A and B are shown apart, each in its own frame.
Chain A
């Protein structure tokens, strides 16, 4: 079974540009979450999607947005990039079982997209 696939793995942008990152969850998983990882702030929750609906959102400015498609693939977009947006962006998927909110429901992470803003 293929894991969580994130593309692109690396990208370099300049301030003011926008970027779109893609995440393909494990087949059959309908929940996708996004996290930002930086040396200073650590791992911070961005959003959570389930069945194309945003269920939860972290404390990030409106420049950060996301969406989920009917095939459960998800994208996140960052507009008007700032230097501080340089980070590893991690996507995680989880199954939509009866134990959706139980400890049995574990997030599986992708390898991340490394964004550098110059």
Chain B
């Protein structure tokens, strides 16, 4: 079974600084997709960024970028120029090819200090 591990239960960063959230996963599949979701206090899960495993190029969405290391099964999220609105729970998620089911990590609570 696939598993996703987020080893940092909590992280904090100063506003405008850069922070990296870690995620590792375990799978025997070769084709899969990885996601970072953000869950603010409003509880709405919002997609931050996604990565197809077959793509070597790391995904980037504005201030958010990933470092995808397929051989190491690592998928970290970098947030640049952190803003107060980035404060939330961040979940790393895995989905194998041909399936809709997401497997989530335990989450990292990110605090932004003004």
Contacts and interface: CB of A to CB of B under 8 A. Distances in A.
Q: Do A and B come from one complex?
A: yes
Contact of A109 (B33, B44, B52): B44
A101 B97 contact: yes
Contact of B101 (A42, A56, A105, A114): A56
Given A42-B106, A106-B50, A111 B101 contact: no
B112 interface: no
Interface residues of A, number: 28
Interface residues of B, number: 25
Nearest to A59: B1
Contacts of A114: 43
A75 interface: no
Interface of B: 33, 35, 37, 42-47, 50-52, 91, 95, 97-107
Among all A-B residue pairs, the 3 with the closest Cβ atoms: A109-B45, A43-B104, A103-B33
